[in-house]
Amino acid sequence: MNTGLKITAFAAAVAATFGTTYAVGASVDTVGKPVAHTEDHGERRAKQEKRGADGDHTPGGLQIVADGYALDLRTPRAEAGDRTDLRFRILKSDSGRPVTQYTRDHGKELHLIVASRDLTTYRHLHPVRAADGTWSVPATLPEAGDYRVFADFRPERAKEKVTLGADLAVTGAYAPAPTLAPSSTTKVAGGYEVRLDGALTPGEPGELTLRVTRRGKPVTDLQPYLGAYGHLVALRSGDLAYLHVHPNGEPGDATTEPGPEVSFTATAPSAGTYRLFLDFRHEGKVRTAPFTLRVGAGGGAADGQGHGH
Ligand SMILES: [Cu+2]
């Protein structure tokens, strides 16, 4: 059938894309989404070398005040296992006035990510905004510990998205999880298997592809979730720097298939270990598949792809 053929052709194209890391970098120019650099490959590479693997740009989520905005978390404490209302405001940092006008991104004015510092608990929430600018959303965090709250939004007149982060303490007996262990490239989430393909090079946009199957069968009827067939959040282990990730293609653009592959372009600001959380929607339910990805210096491909260290 035509659809089957198309999917096979797409899978072949994806496989070809990951032949070498150079090809991954080069392929970014063809995805048709705005990426940070428009120079030719050589120039871009030179610039990256100059910028270094550490990067001059501060990644999102590390600051409570940045780009003219402040995150005012009114509920910096919660009780483990209890349903709490998380409340916060986004303030103009100069005037202290709450922001009440936003530009929607992925269908929402603001995305709230809550993650434990040990990266074992993850929530992707969509708070409700009151007229005075106060956002609120109920959340139940099962484990005590230090958490980070990320507000990802775009104020109405801002040119770019802003991601601010604040600490949240969840009280109770705290037993931090051990350092992130290498995870398999295939994860099981709610009866689905999700496989991660691709690698990232520090400072360079790279493509990551997630393939969703159920009991070994490709899922070809994923449902749009936040304007895409998947939503990927990536956090750096150690400081929880928040990466910008763009889905490649969107539902209804005539080329993007509703699975089994969902592809993203992401830039890791440095070498290190990253935790990736993929949200996808199927049969009306959103599921989350977490992965651990090593980037740079000996990391290369995702964990489990033939690297024993
Ligand atoms: Cu969201």
**pLDDT tens, residue by residue, 210-224:** 999 999 999 999 999
In which band, very low, low, confident or very high, does the pLDDT at 4 lie, cut at 50, 70 and 90? Answer: very low
Look at strands 134-140 and 83-92 and give their pairing.
antiparallel
Average pLDDT on 183-200 reads: 89
DSSP H helical segments within the chain, as ranges? 2-17, 21-27, 41-51
Ranges 27-31, 42-46, 143-147, 179-183: which has the least confidence: 27-31
User: What is the CA(102)–ligand 1 centre distance, in A?
Assistant: 14
pLDDT in tens, 118-158: 999 999 999 999 999 999 999 999 999 999 999 999 999 89
In which band, very low, low, confident or very high, does the pLDDT at 13 lie, cut at 50, 70 and 90? Answer: very low
Average pLDDT on 60-68 reads: 96
User: What is the CA(114)–ligand 1 centre distance, in A?
Assistant: 11
Write down the mean pLDDT value for the chain: 82
pTM summary value: 0.77
Structure tokens at 277: 């959380």
In which band, very low, low, confident or very high, does the pLDDT at 185 lie, cut at 50, 70 and 90? Answer: confident
What is the per-residue pLDDT for 56?
56
Q: How far apart are CA 298 and CA 50, in angstroms?
A: 21
Under 8 Å between Cβ of 48 and 25 = no
User: What is the CA(162)–ligand 1 centre distance, in A?
Assistant: 14
pLDDT in tens, 216-270: 999 999 999 988 999 999 999 999 999 978 889 989 999 999 999 999 999 999 9
User: What is the CA(204)–ligand 1 centre distance, in A?
Assistant: 24
Percent of the chain with pLDDT over 70: 77
Look at strands 231-236 and 217-218 and give their pairing.
unpaired
Handedness of CA 29, 46, 299, 178 (dihedral sign): negative
Please tell me which residue, 99 or 40, carries the higher pLDDT value.
99
User: What is the CA(131)–ligand 1 centre distance, in A?
Assistant: 20
What is the per-residue pLDDT for 77?
97
Question: What's the alpha-carbon Rg for the chain, to the nearest Å?
Answer: 19
Under 8 Å between Cβ of 119 and 272 = no
User: What is the CA(152)–ligand 1 centre distance, in A?
Assistant: 8
Write out the DSSP string of 245-262: EEESS-TTSSS--SSSEE
User: What is the CA(143)–ligand 1 centre distance, in A?
Assistant: 22
What is the per-residue pLDDT for 98?
98
On the question of pLDDT at 95 being above 50, the answer is: yes
Under 8 Å between Cβ of 185 and 302 = yes
Average pLDDT on 59-87 reads: 97
Average pLDDT on 95-99 reads: 97
On the question of pLDDT at 169 being above 80, the answer is: yes
Q: How far apart are CA 182 and CA 169, in angstroms?
A: 27
What is the per-residue pLDDT for 297?
67
User: What is the CA(125)–ligand 1 centre distance, in A?
Assistant: 6
User: What is the CA(103)–ligand 1 centre distance, in A?
Assistant: 13
Structure tokens at 42: 């050589």
User: What is the CA(118)–ligand 1 centre distance, in A?
Assistant: 21
Percent of the chain with pLDDT over 90: 68
Look at strands 206-214 and 217-218 and give their pairing.
antiparallel
In which band, very low, low, confident or very high, does the pLDDT at 21 lie, cut at 50, 70 and 90? Answer: very low
On the question of pLDDT at 301 being above 50, the answer is: no
